[in-house]
Amino acid sequence: MGWVVYGAASIGNLYRPVEDDEAQDVLEAAWDAGIRSFDTAPHYGLGLSERRLGAFLRTRERASFQLSTKVGRILEPRTDPRPADDMEHGFAVPADTVRRFDPSRSGIERSVADSLERLGLDRVDTLLLHDPDVYDLDRGLREGLPALATLRDEGVTGEVGIGVNSVEAAVRAVREGDIDVVMIAGRYTLLEQHAAEELLPLCLERGVRIIAVGVFNSGLLAAATPASAHYDYGAVPADLVERTERLRAVCTRHDVPLPCAALQFPLRHPAIGQIAIGTARRSSLAQNVEYLRAQIPAALWSDLEAEGLIPPQPSMP
């Protein structure tokens, strides 16, 4: 399963409380399925995801897995009145710390040191600048990317890159920085292929690896009906409801579950090296692995192309 990354936001109590044993159970399931790449971030549960993932990975030989985490948000003790929880940011954890944007060299070095302490490990393989467009994209690219490249060149980490939802931010990072990896969320999926216009060809040209995240578009492509789903964490626009049902109809004709096609679609593009899947439920993890291993008839992709729902399959450069 080298083309799969386990995304650990869910075990940071994304949207709901997750018990420690539940988090460890799904990580065991991911490992048993052959997944050896793991991604986390300080942002996920205000450090909870890193602590839980680290506790699991410390039981494995360090050379047997790849680990990425993110920089750009430093966690600091809260001094202002404390909300009941961090659900404003989507995490069901005590809001005892706050996130502070700091893409400076010293800020990134502190972020890495704090992450390693939470993880209980001596290094991470990949460092990603996390969502600089949420705060100050110009500053993030101007300060953060050179700082990351220096840390890579000094041997602190093996790869550096950026993790964003915005195609435009990712394109700028590839053009303006010296990076190895782009983690792009929700912009190259069965539903939406905006990243194919410029980002994917640019990364192929420059040898930048892409990890596709959010392949279900906030759950829309995994839900039984669009009415029970969200899109980019909000209500689903009417045109996307219609497009989702068209996708489902073609998949049904070929006896392929829509989530199965959604998981496999990004990997058809030569620029996509891996996809990330994230869940805190063992049953969901097992289902996703089954979908990834399923054989999808070529006729499904041909029919989706014929109906204008996906672009033609790009050829290898």
**Distance between CA 44 and CA 306 in Å, rounded?**
40
Instruction: Estimate to the nearest angstrom the gap between the alpha carbon of 83 and the chain centroid.
Output: 27
d(CA 81, CA 84): 10
Rg from Cα positions in the chain: 19
Residue 238 lies in a domain: no
In a domain, 255, yes or no: no
Q: Which structural domain range is residue 197 located in?
A: 4-215+263-306
pLDDT exceeds cutoff 60 at 264: yes
pLDDT > 70 fraction of the chain, expressed in percent and rounded: 97
Residue 149 DSSP label = H
Closest to 67 measured CA to CA, from 118, 29, 104, 107: 118
Q: Does a structural domain hold residue 258?
A: no
Helix 167-176, helix 199-206: angle, nearest 10: 20
> Is 160 a residue whose pLDDT tops 80?
yes
Residue 317 pLDDT exceeds 60: no
| 43: in domain | yes
Specify whether the CB–CB gap between 211 and 267 falls below 8 A: no
Instruction: Exactly one of 6, 15, 44, 231 is catalytic; name it.
Output: 44
Average pLDDT on 109-134 reads: 98
Q: Does 54 map to a domain?
A: yes
- Domain tally, the chain: 1
Which among 107, 175, 110, 109 has a CA at the least distance from the CA of 141?
175
CATH of the domain at 154: 3.20.20.100
151 in a structural domain: yes
123 is a domain residue: yes
**CA 11 – CA 54 distance, rounded (Å):** 12
Residue 198 lies in a domain: yes
The DSSP secondary-structure symbol of 191 reads S
The Cα–Cα gap between 250 and 260 comes to 13
Task: Establish whether 233 is a catalytic residue.
Answer: no
Q: What is the pLDDT of residues 285-296, one digit of tens each?
A: 999 999 999 999
Closest CA to 292 of 40, 39, 3: 3
- pLDDT category of residue 223 using cuts at 50, 70 and 90: confident
